Amino acid sequence: MKELLEEKRVDEALEVVENLTDSQVQGSEKELLQILTSADDASLRNSIALRMSDAKCQQVAPCIIDLLKDPKTKGNRGTLLYALHELNYSEHIEVLLPFLADPSFEVSREAYALVKPHFRNLTKKQKNETKALLEAYLEDLRDEIDFRKGVLSVLKK
């Protein structure tokens, strides 16, 4: 697969990843993790994360968490969050909390599905910080709605 990527044949590399059996994934964990963490192509990252998650490769969870924190994944985090569902991610709940206030529908809903079973275990500090993020996001939405209403009223004149 490295040869395909060196030759910029990402579509073929994607096909290879999607056709790996669970035992092939488990036998290639090190290589797949290296590609996952270094890939610039979001489709390739997502495909590897999903395939490793489906194969129950727990080692991918910390890599996914690191990718979620990486600015290069902004706009492509929903699938990474989805891949965590099959894995043990509970020690990383704090990283997931800010995604509850993400403007992306997919990201906020996936984060909620992941965090919801752990709400009881959140510290008071985690709850307060998450509430503050959500309240700030709601305020931004109110400002956006007010702006759009203003534009509509001008157009109606």
Mean pLDDT of the chain: 92
Place of tokens 């959140």: 122
pLDDT at 1: 67
pLDDT at 17: 86
State which H helix or E strand residue 106 sits in: helix 105-115
The C-alpha atoms of residue 102 and residue 139 are separated, in whole angstroms, by 13
The pLDDT tens digits for 48-77 are 999 999 999 999 999 999 999 999 999 999
pLDDT at 22: 87
**Per-residue b or e along 60-81, where b marks 16 or more CB atoms closer than 10 Å to that residue's CB:** bbebbbebbeeeebeebbbbbb
- pLDDT, block means (10 residues), the chain with 157 residues: 72 85 89 92 94 95 96 95 95 95 96 96 95 94 94 93
pLDDT at 88: 94
Please state the pTM of the whole predicted model: 0.86
